[in-house]
Amino acid sequence: MVVQTSIGIALAPSDSGDPDRLLKLADMALYRSKADGRGTYRFFEEEMDAKMQARRMLELDLRAAFINQELEVHYQPLVAVESSKISGFEALVRWQHPERGWVSPSDFIPLAEEIGLIAQIGAWVLKQACSEAVTWPSDMRVAVNVSSTEFKSQSFFSNVTSALQMAGLPGHRLELEITETVVLQDTEATLATLLQLRALGVRISMDDFGTGYSSLSYLRKFPFDKIKIDQSFIADLPDRDGSVAIIKAIAGMSHSLGMNTTAEGVETMEQFEAVRLQGCTEVQGFFFSPAVPAYKIAELIASSGDKDRVAA
């Protein structure tokens, strides 16, 4: 067992002469120490106080946004490579603050994780996504991201079954995207939950493949239907030979294991052609469309496969 310590330090009297204030300042420094990586120490600095206040305000606003239904679910198309037609949509939570405007998911999603709100948000997104997906053509599915916190909650499986039943959506039209963080947890419990989901017909995707502790043993042990190749490998295409080789290897391995492969973050024709040539079965990215509100989905579906810029 390896034990690592993070330490926050505040000095008297230079930082404060009040014991309670010193503890608060040391706690701010501790928060920075944890954020910078385990096993470190940080001294309190004035800018930490301002950042902590800003974080606290964002936390209060996020809690209020969830209660007041300010959060929205947008949908980004998943496009079949061979036909260039939409095969489904990924549900992505968005937040338009009345004063701040659009708040980046990279700002509020980690915060939701920290304050214990992510499981509630995730359950809400799941219900919204299933209710929306049932109105689409029957061959289209909806993909929903699942955080590690949400996945290990006792109510997760019942939340999935409830969302499907309430919407009347067949299980095979729901795809749950999990990251390697989920897989690295209690593997036996994880496998049991995944098998329960598969029994409902729900599809399972390994998201952001290649960015963490990727292991081929995961793909053999867990019942994945699809691998999503992280956009960091796509950004260098078609110029970087190493990325091309990695994508080709992942796509080939997935095909051999009976899995599909989605390339994330495709933004140009050149990138689309590169992933197509390497055997990816599906793409996602701004080249086709950003995530859009639900009311724009019908328009995207109607124009699906008609893009002149996509090579035949």
pLDDT at 311: 42
pLDDT score for 268? 95
pLDDT of residue 213: 61
Q: Give yes or no for a contact between 270 and 238, defined as CB atoms under 8 angstroms apart.
A: yes
Predicted local distance difference test score (pLDDT) of residue 1? 54
Alpha-carbon span 231 to 1, nearest angstrom:
34
Contact between 104 and 79 (Cβ < 8 Å) = no
Mean pLDDT by 10 residues, the chain (312 residues): 79 84 85 78 80 83 94 98 96 94 93 93 98 97 96 94 98 95 81 95 91 70 91 87 89 93 96 95 96 96 68 40
User: What pLDDT is recorded for position 175?
Assistant: 98
pLDDT of residue 194: 94
Domain boundaries, the chain: 7-59, 69-302
The pLDDT of residue 202 is 98
Architecture of domain 69-302: Alpha-Beta Barrel (3.20)
